[in-house]
Structure formats: C-alpha cells, structure tokens
Amino acid sequence: MFLLRLAVKNLSRYTRRTIITAVAIAMGIAMYLAVDSMLLGAAEESERNLKWYETASLRVHTTAWWEDRLFLPLDEAIEEPQPILETIHALGYGAVSRTRFSAELILGWEEFGEDGYLPVEITAIGEDDGTVYRYGATLAEGRFFNAGEMDGIVLGSWLAEDIGATVGSSLIVSTRGKGGFFEAFDAQVVGLVNCPNPNVNRTLVMMDIQAADQYLGMKGAVTNIDILVPDREEVQSVQRTLSQALSSLDSSVIVLTWKDLAQDYLAIVSSKQGGSSLILFLIFIIAAVGISNTMLMAMYERGGEIAMMRAMGMEERRLWVSFLLEAALIGLLGSAIGMVLGALATLYMVEVGIDLSFMLRDLDMGFRIPSVMRGAWSLSSFIVAAVGGTVLSGMAAVIPVRRALKSPITTALVRL
Amino acid sequence: MSRKTLFIITLLLFFSCASLWAITAEEIIAAVDANTSFASSHSSGAIITVDRFGEKKSTFEAWSKGDNTSLIEFTSLAERGQKILRTGSSLYLYYPEADQLIRLQGAALRQSVLGSDLSYEDMTRESSTLASYDATLEGEDVIDGIQCWIVKLVAKSRSSAYPIQTLWVDQERFVVRKGLYATAAGRALKEMEVIALMEVGGVAMAKESRIADLLKRGSSTTMRIESIEIDIPLPDALFSLENLSW
Amino acid sequence: MVKLALRNILRNRRRSLLSAFAIAVSAMSIILLLALVEGMEVDMRTNLIAYYTGEIRIRSSQYARYERYHPLHLSLDDEAITTVLERMDEVAETSGRISFPAALYRGDRSRPVLTMGFDFTRETAFSNLASILSEGRLPHDRSNELVMGAVLAKGLDITVGDRVTLLASTAAGSSNAMSFTVVGIVKPPIGSLSSSTLYLSLERAQHLLFMEGRVQELVVRSTGAVSLPALAGEIAALVAEELGIETETQAFSQLNEMYGFLRIAKYIYYVIALIFFLLGSTVIINTTMMVIFERMAEIGMMKALGMDDGKVRLLFLLEGAFISAAGALAGVLVGVLITAVLSRVGIDFTEAMSGIEMEVSSVLYPSITAFTAVAVYLYGVAIATLSTLIPTRRAARIQVVEALHYV
C-alpha cells in the first residue's frame, strides 16, 4: 500500500511527462478500439444486414415449406401461428408473423414505359414487425403502410429506381393465393426504404399482413414466424430450446437459424477481421517504447534518489515493485483515458456510423454502395486494452529499472 | 360409347327436363364438358407465345387417354424431341440429351410451359367443371353473329385457378366462344377468344384459340390444333415412362 | 549548425536511439498495413479479371436492361466481334463466355447452380482453369462433360465420373436439358465460385442453349498501353461503327462494387497511418523535453554567448529531423523487407475468410510499391520533425538567467 502511494507520489512529480506518455498510450488504445470496432462492425455488417433486415435470428417454418422453399408455397404455411407466437413470447423473445409470396408487379404502361412486369417476392408484415426487424429507421421517403391498409406497398429504394417508381406510383400486383387461385389487386407505393443491406434495397416489396391475408385467402395462416435473439445469447442454444418447446405444440414446424437461412440469400460483402489484432500488436509496441522511454528518463534523472533509498536500506524488491507500479499506473491511466475515448468513438460508430458518401462522390462510381460504416462493441477488446495497456506498461519498465538498480550505489550517489 | 352418342344423350336429358324452355347453367356447362372430353385423342398443333421479347412458335403432337393421361411431343426445332407425360397429377419431362426424366410435382407445376401463359399445372387439371364451380346463367349475347349464353362460374374452393369465369357458350353448338377469367373481386385477368372452330366427330371444337393476359399488355398465347382424331385405340404402353425415354 | 546537431545526437546515443526506434516502429507498421491492403486490392483485381469480368467486358447493350430475366437471346456474334477486336493493337486477348442459371438434377433432387460456358483454350489468359484443377481434367469440346467447384461437389456428394443433368432456359425461349459427366473438380480461390458454379465448354453451352456462334459476353485483356475505361470506349465505338452492334462495354473497375469499396478502405488506412505516426512522435516529444531539461545549462550558455532564439529552435529541430530521418528510414526498410518476404510466402486468412463472400482469395500476398514506401518515409519524417517543434518552442523561450541557474 505504501508502495502504491509512493508510486503515485513519484508520478505526480513529473506530471507533464507522465501525462504525455499516458496520452500517447491513450491515443493508441483509443485508436485500437476504434479500428477494432470498425473492422468488427464491417465483419458483422453482413451478419447484421441479414439479421436486421432479412432473416432475423431464428425462423419457424413448416418442414414442407422449407423443402419447397424455392417456390414459396402458400399451401404449406403455418396454419396456427398464434400458439407458436405465444410460446416464443413466453420464453422472452420477440417474434412476429410474416408471409412471403411470389408475385408480379405490373407496371402501368402510361406511368412506367414499356417494361410491363417484374417478378418479385413480397413480404407481408404486421405492425409489430419492429420488435424483430429494424426497418423503422430505414424509411427514405414516404411512410410505411398502416395495419389493415389494403393497397399500400413499400419498395426498396434501388428497386424503385430500377423500375422508375416513386412514392405515389400505382401498379398492380398479380399473384396466386393459398390454394392456387389467381388474384390481382391495385397497389400504391407509399414509401421507399434505404437500408445498409443492398440486397434488400434491390428487391424489397412489402405490404400489410392483414391485407395479404385477405387477398391470398390465408385465413390467419402465415409462412414464417421470425424471432429475435439478443446478441448476448447464443443462437444455436435458443434454437434447441425453441425446437423442443414447439415440437409438442406443432410437429410440422422446424426452427432454423439465420445461418441456415443465409445460404439462400445473396451473401453480403464484408471485410476481414484479424486486421485489428495486427494493429493492436503494433500499437502495443509503440506504447512499450513510450513507456520504456519515460521510465528510462525517470531512472536516469532519479539515479541519485534511487541510490539514496537503497543506501537507506530499502529492499531491492520493493524498489522494483514501486517503479513497476509507476509504469503500470501510467499504463492504467493511459488505458483508462483511451478506453473512454475509444468508447465514445465506438458509441458514435455504432449508433450513427461513419458516412462515407463524401468519399463515394469523389470516387465517381456508377454503382451504389451502402455508404454508412457502422462499428460494433466488443467487450473482449476493451478488456484486452485495459489489461494489456497496464501490464505491458509494467513490463516495458523492466529493463530500464533493472539497469538503474544494477549500478552500484556509489556511482549512483555521484549523480545526486 | 362415342362422343357423339354421349352428346346426344346429354341433349336428350336436357329436353326431357320438366322445364323445357328454361335451360340451366349447369346443363350448359355439362354439355360443354361433354363436348370436350374424349376417350382418347391424337392431335397435332402449335402454341404461339407472345411476350416482351417477341413471338415464339412451338409445334407438337399429342395423345390423350381418358381425362388424366396425356403425352405431348414437341416437333418444333427449339424443343425437338422433348416430351411431356402426364399421369394423374404427376408430370414427367423428357429431354433427348438428358439421361434422366425430370419429374415435376407440387409447387413445381406452377411454372409456365415454354414461357407461355399456360402452366404445367393447367395441363394437369381435372376436367369436370361443375365439381369445382357453381354455375349461373347471366343472360345472352351475340358474338360474331353467334347467339351465346353467358354463364358465370364461381369457384367453390380456393384451389381453382380462376375464382370467377364468365363463358360465352354458343347456343347451337355448345362450345365456348369466349371466356373472361377474373379474380374474386371481379378484376379481369385473362381473356380467351376462339378464333376458329372445327368439326370433330359431329361436334364443334375450338381449332384456334387465343388467351390474352389483360394485365400484362402484349402477352398472349395462341393454341392451334392442326389435326385431331378422337376415340381411336391407343395402347397403354404409349403413356408409360419407358416409352417416354425412348 | 548541422554538425552541432549531429554531435548532440551522438552524445546521447541511447536516448536518440529510443526516439528513432519509436519512429521506426511506426514507419514499419504503416508499411505493413498498407502492404496488406495493397495485397488485397491486387488480389481482388486479379480475381475479378480472371473469373468475372476480364479487364474489359462487352455485352449487348440491351442485356443490362433485362438482366433480371437472363435474356440469352440478347447475345453477341462471337466471331464478328472477335475479328474486330483482334485488329486493335491495344487488345491482347479475348474470350467469349456464356453464363446462365440452371437447375442441376440428380434423380429427383435438384438445385440451382450458375453455369459458365468457357472456351478453355482462350481462357488460359483469363481464368486458366487448368491451374485450379484439383482433380480430373478440363472438359473436351463436343463431349458432354463439365467441371464443378469443389465445395459444390462436396455438398452434393459428387465425384469425378458421376453423371448430372442440367436443365436451363434457352435463348430460343424453350427449356432444354442435357446430361454431363463430371470430369474434374476445380478449386477457385473465391469461396462463392467454388460453392455454386459449374464450367462447361463454350461449345456445349451454345449447343444446350441454341446459341451457335453466339456468346453472352466477351472479355478482353489489354496490352496496358491505354487506360482501361478509354479502351472500353474505343472498343464500343469501333464495334458499333464496323458491325452496327450497340454494346455495353466497360472496364472491370466500373463494374464491381467491392473494388470501389476497397479503395475506400485504403483511405481509412491512410488515416490510421497518420495516427500511428503521431503516436510515435509522442516519444520524440518526451525525449526532446527531457533533453532540453538536461541541457538547460548548455542552452543558457549558448544564449549567453549570443545565440538567438531562432537558432536554438533550429538546432533542436535539426536534431529532431535527423533522428526522424534515420528512424523512419530504418522502419521503412524493415517494413519493406518483411513485405518482400511475405509476398512470397503469403498470409493465410482462410480461417477468417470462411463464410465471407468477397472476391478475395483466402491467401493474401502483401505488396508495396516504391512510391508508397517513399511516401510513408517522407510522411513519417515530416510528422516526427514537426512534433519536435512543441518542446523546442519552450526551449527557445528559456531565459538566460533561468538557464544559468542550472549550471
């Protein structure tokens, strides 16, 4: 305890140097955390894009539907979704019903020109969809349809661009209902969605599930139930739990993870991870150098003082500990500041993200990229930073301290 | 019995009804159905598809036995040697350069044949209209100088492709001259027009008919029968899978 | 002045060394990072050009419009266009291709696949599938044979010698199916190709799809004399003029989203580079500060002897500059050396890459250009030198009296 106070006292004698070193470490740590967050975010982007906008964490289908899924067969829908929804809610997870079906958008020749029709996949959602998916934040224009709105549809913004549709455009949806009967109804584009998932932007057509239920003659049946599992929980184990819970309820359904579903979706590009470990390594080297330097200078300056303490009988080991503590404290201080800065940076990147569109404009690319890069939280990185920063600093001081304590007391005293 | 016999008996049944003058929708439809069902047939014809990319003509030769079994062989260049065999509710596709038959079932039947407005499913339909539809007589109309009944068919279940069909039936010959196929809400989806009739075994039959998609402008499918023989003896082996692979 | 600076540096070797070391480490790190990103970019470019688009890709101008429908009938006359291309000096190689979706049947089970019809002879300049064959051989023309991606084959439990049937929509609007023998397995460096693609000979694809003599696209390699977008424009103009065919002709960089994204990533790394150097510079600041403290007496002396503030500042600046120059040089050299080694050996990222869809191989070879190395060097020296300004300003302001106090 005494040693700790000693260390702190010593540090305060050289505040400027201490601060500068600590700040250097802080910046390094902050940068590591920021870059790590960014790389992790980019790597998670594809996962996130799927989970937030296409697959959710888990999905319930009937086994028959899953086998014929290329055809989106309404006949193999989940007939009684309510008990399943209740079971899942009781277990504490968000779940919503959705119905997916294939259709053709028929574009009025007056409004759209000659390209008359487009095969699409329509996703019908309910008002509670936001408990599992995150479309709410992605509305680019217009609005979402209301519950029960029979003719409102929302398109992905790139799809709309491709076909020349805007908010207010009317078109006809032609499809086949449950059983096989033909159905066609008028629809109006009420909103456009622009989300980080390019696949969604390119292909999304959404409508209200009650309207779909009526048009398709579903009578309450839905094609899938989508479930949100919080990040901290392991998806596979929830899958097992749910499968068990549901098998007694309805033996015709299966529970799939987003990974099972992901194979059928266009894989979204993401950048590699592993780059951040490299950066961390490099930063630590620099930090180590910084600490060594600081300690070296400290040792050099305080040569006389050290000698005095040794002369007065202070054990070498205690001296060691005291100096190492000094170094470690600098490291701790630096790490602490760095973590705060890093946390702020990560917070910004996770919630807001970095908008790259200014760069995109200059690069003059004719195609579209999701232009916001988002970060991700990684507790392990923060722990690594804190522990690493402190421990490494302590370690970096070893050599200079050793040199200082090796020299005979007499020569050191001369320095006084 | 021959088709013609069946037709005559059906007509006699009608005329023996208590209400001589008021023919019912069911009777009309029954007669129409009777006209289009054969014990067996051998025909050749063409399907012409028009879509956004232009016109495409495919020619075929077809055999059928009863209502559930048929074999089609394509004779046009782009599909030469390809065959489709229907037995019950399964469909088998034969391609000359493939080792195996391709079997279509369930949802795969909804795919369209040759990109036309016909799906494989359409080819596997049950042919008894009254089993799936409720018929009502809506009135009369004249098409191309022909006096027709207007019969409205409303689907009994959701598994019928067209929830509402309106048929213009030739009053003399009991053959459909025009059809309008609509959604349950009454929105017209497709229109069928008989362009030419022919006489087969004493009964009138569509020689050339055209289905136009009313939603997708410019999209239509024309079916033309060049020749047809009915109620001829056809060996069962003709409709076997072995024969298909040959 | 310079000599004085140099002497001062050598006087406190240990300290100078430490500062230089810090700069060196920063410089080396930057070099490595940039080399990695450069390696990725080169790799992606190679893959795109080989397997996807060539350096320039030519398609019918209508094709892009109806791309959703895979309109094979909107094809190109292979021979006619190739003849025109071969007359152009800047065109080195050409190859015609057809890529189309098909259903792969094995008994009753079917699965959608992407099929590519390649002229394997002409493709040696592009995809050179022979070099990625892991088993078997390439298909012969006029034989119903194909090769399959390794992951796809594994997933379907297919080995060399098996028969499969492909069902596809043809250019004539019909469908057609043919059976093929799997004669080889290929291992493309890109995961998605390996898991979903088959390769047939172009001649067979043309036969299957009723596309005799025609191709869906032509890919081109240039001699490098002209910029690719410019060459693309030339080709389009020439083909339109001589053959009356309107094409969509573009360079690979204009066609692929990811490539552009990667270039953005490079900018981000430049920013990281800046921060690294700043970090390294803090060490110099610290050192310089201490030096000044130590040499207070000396500074006081110099000032008393008539040296003005500016000169003092200059002296320390020079010292900083030399240390930075030496350190950065060492760092850059070491970084370049390590890069050179890694560029032969390669870094294996297969672990990290699994499950990621990107046209980048699993093994990367970092590389660095002389330009980048020099740029990093100058950058490092500049930043480090400038950072010595902070403490030296203080030094210059030291009053003579105050300094003499330390004698």
Taking an 8 Å cut-off on Cβ atoms, the answer to whether A297 and C286 are in contact is yes
Averaged pLDDT for residues B136-160:
90
Which chains are within 8 Å of C by 3+ CB pairs?
Answer: A, B
Residues of C within 8 A of A20 (CB-CB) are 282, 285-286, 289
Chain C residue nearest residue A120, CA to CA:
C68
Q: What was the pLDDT predicted at A408? A: 67
Q: How confident is the model at residue A158 (pLDDT cuts 50, 70, 90)?
A: confident
Q: What is the pLDDT of residues B40-93, one digit of tens each?
A: 899 999 999 988 788 889 999 999 888 788 899 999 988 889 999 988 778 899
Given a contact cutoff of 8 angstroms between Cβ atoms, the answer to whether C115 and C168 are in contact is yes
Q: What is the SS3 assignment for A180?
A: coil
pLDDT for residue A43 is more than 70: no
Q: Among residues of chain C, what percentage have pLDDT more than 70?
A: 80
Given a contact cutoff of 8 angstroms between Cβ atoms, the answer to whether A338 and A33 are in contact is yes
Which chains are within 8 Å of B by 3+ CB pairs?
Answer: A, C
Averaged pLDDT for residues C8-29:
76
Given a contact cutoff of 8 angstroms between Cβ atoms, the answer to whether A94 and A231 are in contact is no
- Min Cα distance B162 → chain A (Å) is 6
Residues of A within 8 A of B155 (CB-CB) are 181
Q: What was the pLDDT predicted at A267? A: 37
Q: What is the pLDDT of residues A51-66, one digit of tens each?
A: 889 889 999 999 999 8
The C-alpha atoms of residue C43 and residue C259 are separated, in whole angstroms, by: 10
What residues does each domain of chain A span? 2-48+270-415, 55-262
**Among A315-319, B143-147, C262-266, C332-336, which is the least confidently predicted range?**
C262-266
Taking an 8 Å cut-off on Cβ atoms, the answer to whether A182 and B157 are in contact is no
Smallest Cβ–Cβ distance between C172 and the set B78, B97, B98 belongs to B78
Smallest Cβ–Cβ distance between B100 and the set C73, C105, C172 belongs to C105
Q: How confident is the model at residue A302 (pLDDT cuts 50, 70, 90)?
A: confident
Q: Which residues of A91-109 are buried (b: 16+ CB within 10 A; e: fewer)?
A: eebbbbbbbbbbbbbbbee
Q: What is the SS3 assignment for B198?
A: strand
Taking an 8 Å cut-off on Cβ atoms, the answer to whether A285 and C25 are in contact is yes
Q: Which residues of B217-232 are buried (b: 16+ CB within 10 A; e: fewer)?
A: eebbbbbbbeebebbe
Pairwise pLDDT comparison (A227 vs C300), residue with the higher score? A227
Smallest Cβ–Cβ distance between C170 and the set B74, B78, B100 belongs to B78
Pairwise pLDDT comparison (A28 vs A84), residue with the higher score? A84
The residues near B56 (Cβ < 8 Å, ≥ 6 apart) are B48, B49, B50, B78, B114, B115, C172, C173, C174
Q: What is the SS3 assignment for A72?
A: coil
Q: Determine which helix (DSSP H) or strand (DSSP E) holds A348, and give its type and residue range.
A: helix A316-351
Q: What is the pLDDT of residues B3-34, one digit of tens each?
A: 676 766 666 665 554 445 578 888 888 888 88
**B154 CB near a chain A CB, below 8 Å?**
no
**Among C58-72, C243-257, C337-351, which is the least confidently predicted range?**
C337-351
| C-alpha of A323 from chain center | 41
Q: For the packed helices A15-53 and A2-13, what is the interaxial angle rounded to 10 degrees?
A: 100
Q: What was the pLDDT predicted at C201? A: 95
The C-alpha atoms of residue C209 and residue A412 are separated, in whole angstroms, by: 91
- Min Cα distance C157 → chain B (Å) is 18
**Among A357-371, A375-389, C164-178, which is the least confidently predicted range?**
A357-371
Nearest alpha carbon to residue A89 among A222, A228, A208, A223: A228
Q: For the packed helices A275-301 and A379-396, what is the interaxial angle rounded to 10 degrees?
A: 30
Best probe of the C interface among A282, A283, A295, A349, by most C CBs < 10 A, is: A282
Question: 3-state SS string over C76-103?
Answer: EEHHHHHHHHHCCCCEEEEEEEEEEEEE
Q: What was the pLDDT predicted at A270? A: 34
Q: What is the pLDDT of residues A390-408, one digit of tens each?
A: 887 777 777 777 776 776 6
pLDDT for residue C394 is more than 70: no
The β-bridge partners of B246 are none
Smallest Cβ–Cβ distance between B183 and the set A109, A116, A182 belongs to A182
Best probe of the A interface among B156, B158, B220, by most A CBs < 10 A, is: B158
pLDDT for residue A82 is more than 50: yes
Per the prediction, chain B carries an average pLDDT of: 85
Taking an 8 Å cut-off on Cβ atoms, the answer to whether A117 and B215 are in contact is yes
Taking an 8 Å cut-off on Cβ atoms, the answer to whether A282 and C356 are in contact is no
The C-alpha atoms of residue C384 and residue C20 are separated, in whole angstroms, by: 10
Q: How confident is the model at residue A36 (pLDDT cuts 50, 70, 90)?
A: confident
Pairwise pLDDT comparison (A320 vs C390), residue with the higher score? A320
- Min Cα distance C87 → chain A (Å) is 30
Q: How confident is the model at residue C363 (pLDDT cuts 50, 70, 90)?
A: low
pLDDT for residue A164 is more than 90: no
The β-bridge partners of B62 are B43, B72
Averaged pLDDT for residues B208-234:
89
Q: What was the pLDDT predicted at A266? A: 40
Q: How confident is the model at residue A11 (pLDDT cuts 50, 70, 90)?
A: confident
pTM of the model: 0.75
Residues of B within 8 A of A104 (CB-CB) are 216
Nearest alpha carbon to residue C208 among C69, C121, C98: C98
Averaged pLDDT for residues A244-271:
72
**Among A4-8, C86-90, C232-236, which is the least confidently predicted range?**
A4-8
pLDDT for residue B128 is more than 50: yes
The β-bridge partners of B230 are B41
Pairwise pLDDT comparison (A142 vs C275), residue with the higher score? A142
CATH 2.30.110.10 fits B3-244, yes or no: no
Averaged pLDDT for residues B220-234:
90
Residues of B within 8 A of A174 (CB-CB) are 189, 215-216
Q: Are strands C145-149 and C109-118 parallel, antiparallel or unpaired?
A: unpaired
Q: What was the pLDDT predicted at C388? A: 72
Per the prediction, chain A carries an average pLDDT of: 80
Q: What is the pLDDT of residues A201-226, one digit of tens each?
A: 888 999 999 999 999 999 999 999 99
Q: How confident is the model at residue A259 (pLDDT cuts 50, 70, 90)?
A: confident
Averaged pLDDT for residues A315-319:
78
Averaged pLDDT for residues C288-301:
68
Helix residue ranges, H only, B49-193: 129-132
